[in-house]
Homo-oligomer: A and B are copies of this chain.
Amino acid sequence: MPPIIETLTFNADGLIPAIAQQHDTGDVLMMAWMNAEAVAETLATGQVCYYSRSRQKLWRKGETSGQVQKLVELRIDCDADTLLLLVDQTGAACHTGRRNCFYTAVRGGELTEIATPLISPETLYGHKHG
């Protein structure tokens, strides 16, 4: 493990939240979780790897969909318990095929969809589920 990982504060499950932001536009793409191994792999390879809480294993972003995230810079917050990943996102960060996951806004007290898919989930994942 790189010594940098020893400076991080992981939660009781051994995880730390990681916010992915498109490095040039500032678009906040998604938030997911990493364990120490995912942080180490991300730093070593330059390709973002999370930890999937539902599948309980490393989640190499884009390994199924092709929508990979290249790491531009990893930043750590003042409490060392949250990561900000500046990334270069290929295509859609969201499993719905949208560029980012935050496509629902509260406007006028109502949930409002503010972005449409760039690509269909069937195209992203169809060959795995077909």
Residues of A within 8 A of B (CB): 2, 4, 7, 17, 19, 21, 25-28, 30-31, 43, 73-80, 82, 84, 94-96, 98, 101-107, 109-111, 114
Contact = CB atoms under 8 A, between A and B. Distances in A.
Given A73-B107, A84-B102, A19 B2 contact: no
Given A78-B94, A78-B95, A78-B96, A73 B25 contact: no
A101 B82 contact: yes
Taken together, the copies of this chain in the complex come to: 2
A2 B109 contact: yes
A101 B78 contact: yes
Nearest to A111: B4
B17 A21 contact: no
A105 B73 contact: yes
A31 to B, nearest CB: 5
